[in-house]
Amino acid sequence: MEGVVDHHMRKILSASDASGGIDSCVTEFIRVTDHTLPRRVFIRSCPELLGDSDYTVRVQLLGSNARALAANARKVAQLGAPAVDLNFGCPAKTVNKNRGGACLLDDTDLIYEIVSRVRDAVPASTPVTAKIRLGYNERDSYLKNAKAIEEAGANELFVHARSKKDGYKPPAYWGYIGEIRQALKIPVIANGEIWTVDDYFQCREQSGCNDVMLGRGLLAKPDLALAIKAASQGKPFAHLEWAEIATRVHLFFQQTCTAYPAKYLGNRLKQWLHYLRKTYPEADALFNDIKTSRNREQIEKRLNLEIHSRF
């Protein structure tokens, strides 16, 4: 998720001793225009390519120039990415204006061309995956696009069960994913509006998909993937307490402070707290206290207070 799930967050969420339960992560989207990006761009988005992580990360590309996407995908595969993912779902105005993301949902031929060129450009051993929404203005192009993506040689399809026009507004229309799943042979992974274990079971029932992609729900409940795994296996599960989350929040702030330009200080922390406050009242109080601050010492002091005064 652009603006919040960087490698620091992926590591925190994937840490097997803590939250865990995640099979695979995806980078924030990397925008491709008409040229091949330098290695450092991919490493910056996905330092896990350097090989020191114990979880897998697919590298996600976004753009509409099939030739350039293919060249970048080849480079990403050469850098050792376990899979290349193509974003056909981003609803952001600036992204769509530049012909990237969800606006391509109205151009099935181009989606086909992009996926097939990318598939041809990377070794057969590197999976190519794609992410779509149900359509652009209407929920109407999902079957056409899904079939084109499969025919073009993709290995898996992620479906965010809303149109671009639906934005991020509930509900997610999981039933449509069931139609796609029945029409395709490749694995289909359901996405959208899974905030709880109960949502997971409802999504599974309506879509027929066992596998799901978690977005905001995982940021709101960092142990959601593990809770889903436990519930699927009929095992009991003890949720993470705020004390455990708070230390990770602190770590995330420290890491992101030094990793990004000073003008963005605190942005990623605030994004995460925005989701955490849905689950933890303590995160809500913390968010309210720091939301207008861009001062590192001030935020640090408040975070220290959170950790040391409560526990």
Ligand X SMILES: Cc1cc2nc3c(=O)[nH]c(=O)nc-3n(C[C@H](O)[C@H](O)[C@H](O)COP(=O)(O)O)c2cc1C
Question: Which active-site residues does the annotation give?
Answer: 90
User: Which segments within 110-223 are labelled E, that is strand?
Assistant: 128-135, 156-163, 188-191, 212-213
Closer to ligand X by Cβ: residue 29 or 252: 29
Q: Interior CA angle at 54 toward 49 and 279, to 5°? A: 105
Closer to ligand X by Cβ: residue 250 or 274: 274
Cα–Cα distance for residue pair 264/270, rounded to 1 Å: 11
Which H/E stretch holds residue 211?
A: none
Query: Can you tell me which residue has the tokens 């697919």?
Result: 58
Q: How many CB atoms within 10 Å of residue 202?
A: 15
Q: How many CB atoms within 10 Å of residue 44?
A: 14
Cα–Cα distance for residue pair 7/11, rounded to 1 Å: 6
Closer to ligand X by Cβ: residue 133 or 306: 133
Least distance to ligand X from the beta carbon of 63, Å?
13
Cα–Cα distance for residue pair 259/288, rounded to 1 Å: 24
Gyration radius of the chain over CA positions: 19
Least distance to ligand X from the beta carbon of 301, Å?
27
Least distance to ligand X from the beta carbon of 267, Å?
11
Question: What are the Cα distances from residue 139, in Å, to 111, 143, 154, 185?
Answer: 17, 10, 22, 22
Closer to ligand X by Cβ: residue 135 or 215: 215
Q: Go through the chain and tell me how many residues it has.
A: 311
Closer to ligand X by Cβ: residue 82 or 296: 82
Closest-CA residue to 27 (of 54, 3, 51): 3
Least distance to ligand X from the beta carbon of 231, Å?
17
The letter for the amino acid at 43 is I
Closer to ligand X by Cβ: residue 60 or 255: 60
Q: Which tokens is 229 given?
A: 């795994």
Closest-CA residue to 104 (of 131, 128, 85): 131
Beta bridge partners of 30: 61
Closer to ligand X by Cβ: residue 89 or 178: 89
Least distance to ligand X from the beta carbon of 174, Å?
11
What residue ranges bind ligand X (CB under 6 A)?
1-4, 28-29, 60, 87, 89, 131, 160, 168, 191-194, 214-217
The letter for the amino acid at 68 is A
Q: Which residue is nearest to ligand X (CB)?
A: 215
Least distance to ligand X from the beta carbon of 2, Å?
4
Least distance to ligand X from the beta carbon of 27, Å?
8
Closest-CA residue to 46 (of 31, 66, 63, 26): 26
